[in-house]
A and B are shown apart, each in its own frame.
Chain A
């Protein structure tokens, strides 16, 4: 909570050139007290609070991970090779996201759109994998209400899946907006913003994959 890390501008006597009310309207140079743009700071704060959201869900899962009583348990269900493949695809999407951000910074709109689409596609594959996985689990006897383990597993991974799906919709809409020139504000920054979100969702998945699938119960 300490603000010690935030860089302070030197004691300004005169209003610096380009000093504005800090509103996000297009085309005006910004000046902010921290030097970070408003949207970027807001995204970081949002992701900070998301950490606690997933923290709560992961804690719930860790508490209940073995409480399946006489019902089906995780060790009977996991298909580690498959989940590793989906995790790999999601990780690769972070790479393509980086490509998109770098293309956007170079103002290479063509490639930005390409990489964003590819990122969305890879994300879509991941979600498809999750849908497939949930279907097989359900067929194998793990309903949402079967046990504490099942409820907390589906809730945690479901929340993550929804985050990925929202990310995909944002990516695709971004492509459409770029194509139609409808984007409000700085293109590169908007791409970077969604990139931050996307990387966050990926990192959370790495955590979930490790804690839920890899560490034996």
Chain B
């Protein structure tokens, strides 16, 4: 936020009259260098503030998506439900998936990647801080844009997979699909920009000695995810553009009467959509690969295996998209190839589970809430992974696909895999980010209610699906529910009750945040942690590290605290310093000159211009022109602005001792 230097005598603004200060001469065109107030958040380029905002907004969308899910389950609790109309129900499940995938899990993972990656590799910020701000605001405005469709004529109603031709205007005449298409294009730009930024950060900005194979595992998984985003987002971008041109400009990419092949959309969508699954779960795999070693007091078992299996999952993930299309009418050869490829991807996934359990084996397990969520992930994800193997078998899949069995499967994968991991991360890093502990007691309740709730909700869906209940149906009928006490009606009701339990469990997280807001400051190293992000204060200073750490081993922080005093093959780890002492040592040798990037208006302005163009495409061409003009202005304003503000942007310290806008020194 500021240039932090030891005091100098240099006057801030050379050649200007005494009365002229930057704040008066630049007026509103001065860079927003404020260190406090809303502007310090809105125009910040600090990866930590951006990470926090990502997380908060994603959490809001988590509860929006959760309410949509509760409405869906309420509708399906009884046969011939009447809570939602068919139209509203279709909008509800479309938006539930869209919100959870694009507006909760992805940005929540981005929040962790943004906040933790620079800290874990010993950097002061990401490679392109302003691009980082752009990603955040594009995501925020894109999310608001999509959800604004609720009050502008109805949300998208074609399912998150938006199969053509059901997404064409005659079959979905409201503007919902347009909002969805344009909104995803906007959030797609956010992901794309973020991916480039984080890849460059991870590859280029590592601290001295931080080899690739010494990078903390979360950073590794986040890096793999960014590569997946980099190569999959353009594919969905093409699909979304085709759909937009189809709906808004009369193109006929999906008009069957013109000879179009509806399977084109499916190929493009799933070529993005399958890597997307790994985009959702890999960050959580990374998180629990940090949490499990910390609370087992042991390094991650088989670190290189976990790294390479993550990379392998990412790579093979691009070659299995057609397993979503086993029933779509591909030839038997394609089906066989994709079936086998899908089984192949189970191997690296299995490797991860094996490594996690072996990490715990022989450890000294400390069951904090974060650890509970991590173990919960292993168990729940194993169930989801194994049910995944049952429909890698293509003939079985033709019975299972588009039934509740699939709904059960991917909720075990995405809720059990991704969401539980994210919660593990939240509980693990909360003291790091906010300097306060969350209540462990409420945390336990939070965990157990969520686990019970999710198994009650999604567990019965296995039975529902295998006994023939298709998904995406706004009602089900007693005629096809079977007989006996445990008929499908019973399991539907259990699932609906389970969703309430799950909802209460998730709500307890908010309670926990509220209750814990006045907790005393957290200790410097509350979990006896292992990786580099703990090598600084809680919360970290604006410049992250007082001096850039030099890295000698994997789990650098742990090895600065503990030394092996054993002889020969006998190992005996003795604590030589507490975390707080290690951090103090760093402060002692603080770097003298720390240049941090400066805040900027332009990311926000550029991010606002895209939804304006979006509204223009839907409602009025003039808005497109206006939005494009703003975008061009912002781009050039950005290009002409140096990343770090000039001295002349800062007011000199006022003689009467008022706070200057530029922080002058770090106390040593």
Whether B237 pairs with A182 at a CB distance below 8 angstroms is no
B654 to chain A, nearest CB (A): 27
Q: Does A217 contact B (CB under 8 A)?
A: no
Q: Which residues of A contact B123 (CB under 8 A)?
A: 21-22
Q: Which residues of B contact A25 (CB under 8 A)?
A: 595, 597, 642-644
Q: Which residues of B contact A46 (CB under 8 A)?
A: 196
Mark B residues whose CB is within 8 Å of A.
123-125, 127-129, 192, 195-197, 199-200, 203-206, 208-212, 224, 227, 230-235, 237-239, 241-242, 245, 249-253, 255, 258-261, 264, 268, 311, 314-315, 548, 550, 594-597, 636, 639-644
Whether B196 pairs with A14 at a CB distance below 8 angstroms is no
Interface residues of A in 44-80 (CB under 8 A from B): 45-46, 48-53, 55-57, 60, 63-64, 67, 69
Q: How far is it, in angstroms, between the C-alpha of A52 and the C-alpha of B231 when the chains are bound?
A: 7
Whether B597 pairs with A23 at a CB distance below 8 angstroms is yes
Interface residues of A in 145-172 (CB under 8 A from B): 145, 147-148, 151-152, 155
Q: How far is it, in angstroms, between the C-alpha of A25 and the C-alpha of B199 when the chains are bound?
A: 19
Q: Which residues of A contact B252 (CB under 8 A)?
A: 145, 147-148, 151
Whether B550 pairs with A15 at a CB distance below 8 angstroms is yes
Of the candidates A8, A14, A33, the one whose C-beta lies within 8 Å of that of B204 is: A33
Whether A49 pairs with B208 at a CB distance below 8 angstroms is no
Q: How far is it, in angstroms, between the C-alpha of A42 and the C-alpha of B194 when the chains are bound?
A: 11
Of the candidates A6, A23, A145, the one whose C-beta lies within 8 Å of that of B212 is: A6
Q: How far is it, in angstroms, between the C-alpha of A130 and the C-alpha of B15 when the chains are bound?
A: 52
Whether B251 pairs with A144 at a CB distance below 8 angstroms is yes
Of the candidates A14, A28, A151, the one whose C-beta lies within 8 Å of that of B550 is: A14
Q: How far is it, in angstroms, between the C-alpha of A36 and the C-alpha of B251 when the chains are bound?
A: 42
Other than A32-B204, A145-B250, give 16 A-B pairs with Cβ distance below 8 A: A8-B211, A19-B208, A19-B548, A21-B125, A22-B127, A23-B595, A24-B643, A25-B595, A32-B205, A42-B128, A52-B234, A53-B237, A63-B264, A155-B242, A177-B639, A184-B642
5 A-B pairs with least C-beta separation: A56-B238, A21-B124, A32-B204, A53-B234, A52-B234
Interface residues of A in 124-157 (CB under 8 A from B): 144-145, 147-148, 151-152, 155
Q: How far is it, in angstroms, between the C-alpha of A8 and the C-alpha of B597 when the chains are bound?
A: 27
Whether B200 pairs with A38 at a CB distance below 8 angstroms is yes
Give the residue among A34, A42, A63 with the most B Cβ atoms within 10 A. Answer: A42
Given A60-B264, A155-B241: A67 and B259 within 8 A (CB)? yes
Which DSSP category, helix, strand, loop or mixed, fits chain A's interface?
A: loop
Whether B640 pairs with A34 at a CB distance below 8 angstroms is no
Q: Which residues of B contact A22 (CB under 8 A)?
A: 123-124, 127, 204-205
Given A12-B550, A38-B127, A67-B258: A151 and B251 within 8 A (CB)? yes
Given A3-B212, A173-B636: A23 and B230 within 8 A (CB)? no
Whether A184 pairs with B548 at a CB distance below 8 angstroms is no
Q: Which residues of A contact B550 (CB under 8 A)?
A: 12-15
Whether B125 pairs with A45 at a CB distance below 8 angstroms is no
Whether A69 pairs with B258 at a CB distance below 8 angstroms is yes
Whether A38 pairs with B128 at a CB distance below 8 angstroms is yes
Mark A residues whose CB is within 8 Å of B.
1-3, 6, 8-9, 11-16, 19-26, 28, 32-34, 36, 38, 41-42, 45-46, 48-53, 55-57, 60, 63-64, 67, 69, 144-145, 147-148, 151-152, 155, 173, 177, 182, 184
A92 to chain B, nearest CB (A): 27
Q: Which residues of B contact A55 (CB under 8 A)?
A: 234-235
Closest A residue to B594 by beta carbon equals A21
Closest A residue to B253 by beta carbon equals A151
Of the candidates A16, A23, A28, A63, the one whose C-beta lies within 8 Å of that of B596 is: A23
Q: What are some 25 contacts across the A-B interface (CB < 8 A)?
A: A12-B550, A13-B209, A19-B208, A24-B127, A25-B595, A28-B595, A38-B128, A41-B199, A41-B200, A42-B128, A52-B231, A53-B234, A55-B234, A56-B237, A56-B268, A60-B238, A67-B259, A145-B249, A145-B250, A145-B252, A147-B258, A148-B259, A155-B251, A177-B639, A184-B641
Closest B residue to A143 by beta carbon equals B250
Of the candidates B205, B242, B261, B641, the one whose C-beta lies within 8 Å of that of A33 is: B205
Given A2-B311, A6-B203, A46-B196: A144 and B230 within 8 A (CB)? no
Whether B642 pairs with A8 at a CB distance below 8 angstroms is no
Whether A148 pairs with B124 at a CB distance below 8 angstroms is no
Of the candidates B124, B192, B204, B206, the one whose C-beta lies within 8 Å of that of A36 is: B204
Q: How far is it, in angstroms, between the C-alpha of A55 and the C-alpha of B279 when the chains are bound?
A: 21
Whether A15 pairs with B548 at a CB distance below 8 angstroms is yes
Q: How far is it, in angstroms, between the C-alpha of A62 and the C-alpha of B128 when the chains are bound?
A: 37
